[in-house]
Structure 1
Amino acid sequence: MHKEGLVLSEKKATIAVNKIEFLGIFIDETGIELQDHIVEKIHNFQDVLKDKKYLQSFLEVVNFEGIFLKDLVKYIKDFRPLLKETESSKWKWEEIHTQRVRELKKTCSNLPKLAIPQDGDELVVYIDANNYRWAAVLMKRQLQEKNLVDIQEGCSQNNKPKCGI
């Protein structure tokens, strides 16, 4: 390989294995899953986070696990006002925040394994955009998924980018 210009680190390169560890995840022929020590990180946080810095640390872990979490926004939306804390608006942790932390801990204890696309799978790029950022994700089309025509009919012209059209 070296004569072809490819240089690999003996310590970091692994070739011809069935399972690899990469940035806190396991990847094998059956799918992609988080390593246990990553899942444990979320459980190391208290249910009541004492300040904005702890909340930011907590959300960093949640965001790392986010690709495995369906409807991530549902879990983190109640934390947004706390992140906008200023001198005039004091930190105010409420019961809803504690509930969300507990829900996230419970949900992250049973995260699904992500499937690896197979030959012949129909893949779809889902896009979301606003005035400040855009995001896209490649997903396998599900059989029960709405037809694109159905989505287009329910989406106004101004929201077409948000509908991925």
Structure 2
Amino acid sequence: MELPTSHLDAAHAAALNNPRKAKDAVLREAVEQALTCPCFDDIRHGPCWKQFAGAFTCYGLSKADARGEECSSVYEPLLRCMDRHQKTDYPELKGVTASNPNANVASANEDGSSLARRRSGKYRTVVVDSGGTQRSESNEGNPLPGVEGSTERTRGPRPAIPPR
């Protein structure tokens, strides 16, 4: 059944007429919204934003069984860019290169703190296990020694990208 399009633009009408396209449109909107997160402010103003946004989008829209496996051609330019700018723009990624993308970034700073923790005194980590279960860890209410304001509550969990 075709829906009337008098009050809808063509793209919206097409999405309503095709549930798969509608689901893809919702997913794309969620990925685009996620890219506006203030948590990406540092990289957004850095030299690798274009590559990061491409890699993030590819992963977010991935339909592969192992999510993101088809994105290696997009990840490599991001890792090369970050490697090129590591000393000046991304010191928290010390040791991460295109050939070693799984280096331990959590302890990349000399004092063993992550960048987010060093800047704000608060951090939230989302861990996804092999079964896809998400678990959130944070230091809410646990002040870090010598970090002013570290007892403030962090924002709630970020909205997840809808499941495929």
The structure whose residues are more often strand, as a share, is 1
Fold conserved between structures, TM > 0.5: no
Higher relative contact order by CA 8 Å / sep ≥ 6: 1 or 2?
A: 1
Provide TM-score, normalisation by structure 1: 0.30
